[in-house]
Amino acid sequence: MAAAAQIVEGMGADIVDVNMGCPVPKIAKHNAGCSLMREPAHAASVIRAMTSAVKIPVTVKMRAGWDATEINAPDLAKRIEDAGAAAVAVHGRTAAQSYTGSSDWDLIARVASGLSIPVFGSGDCIEASQMVERMQSGVSGVLVGRGALRNPFIFEQASALMSGRPVRAITHEERGRFLLEYIELLQNERLGESAGFRHVAPGMGARPVSSEFPVSGESRGPARGHDKWVINKLRALNSWYTKGIDNGSHLRVRINAAESIPHLREIIEDFFLAPVSQ
């Protein structure tokens, strides 16, 4: 882990964040992710080795604990602070809960009150008002996951609430323009990225970026390479983004059926930007 942190630092990263929060069995069964929380002394020694090996801050994300019988975030977070971590983020569910139940913000508040380093809370900030409310738990900040996927404007809205400004209503058109901008951003993503940043299967060698991710074209045929990757990213966002929108399920089905980027843009423009017939 210390060597991995040095590689990340060498790549120019600003921080190294250690994920002790992932509950997914294929990660956790390899002594990674949340299973590290089950060995607090080992976890702390990993963080100590990392903080000694790099100059950039080492931060840790964790859950409440492994399961209801092993809730140890307050103790582990303290050990991690003593090991030199710069900040800790806590998702107040156990690994066993995955996404069931709710995030325990009393526990998060307990972690925050026991530490001197910044503690960030995570879990169930779906509305901007919840972000503001949870800032009262003594945390230095809140992390927003699913709420941002449903409504990327949540940060602007929370910031308005925090400073006493009225919350701006987001128009249908803005939501559409956001998706179009996201597509453009993804189309430009990874171009010119150095090979060192990508995972390469053993024995495959590094292929030049251009052959792996050809620049998006305007072809109407089924997307391949980078275009396919862009479409898949949109599909992944789509399942969250269309929740709570009028006719959202219809849009979801149409986006899932899009076979090319021009087709995808057409669907979005048609749904969000076309003049409403009277």
Question: What pairs with residue 90 in β-bridges?
Answer: 62, 121
- Site residues (CB under 6 A) for ligand FMN? 19, 21, 61, 91, 122-125, 143-147
Q: Which tokens in the block code for residue 184?
A: 């453009």
Q: Are 111 and 123 in contact (CB under 8 A)?
A: no
* CA 4/CA 196 separation, integer angstroms: 13
DSSP state of 235: H
Which C-beta is closer to ligand FMN: that of 108 or that of 209?
108
- Report in angstroms how near the CB of residue 277 gets to ligand FMN at its nearest: 36
Which C-beta is closer to ligand FMN: that of 214 or that of 244?
244
Respond yes or no: is residue 22 known to be catalytic: yes
Residue 57 CA to chain centroid, in angstroms? Answer: 19
Which C-beta is closer to ligand FMN: that of 25 or that of 222?
25
- Report in angstroms how near the CB of residue 82 gets to ligand FMN at its nearest: 22
Which C-beta is closer to ligand FMN: that of 125 or that of 223?
125
Which entry of 1, 2, 22, 86 is annotated as an active-site residue? 22
- Report in angstroms how near the CB of residue 124 gets to ligand FMN at its nearest: 5
Position with the least CB separation from ligand FMN: 145
- Report in angstroms how near the CB of residue 19 gets to ligand FMN at its nearest: 4
Contacts of 264 (CB under 8 A, 6+ apart): 183, 231, 234, 255, 258
Neighbours of 116 (CB within 10 A): 7
Q: Which of the residues are catalytic?
A: 22
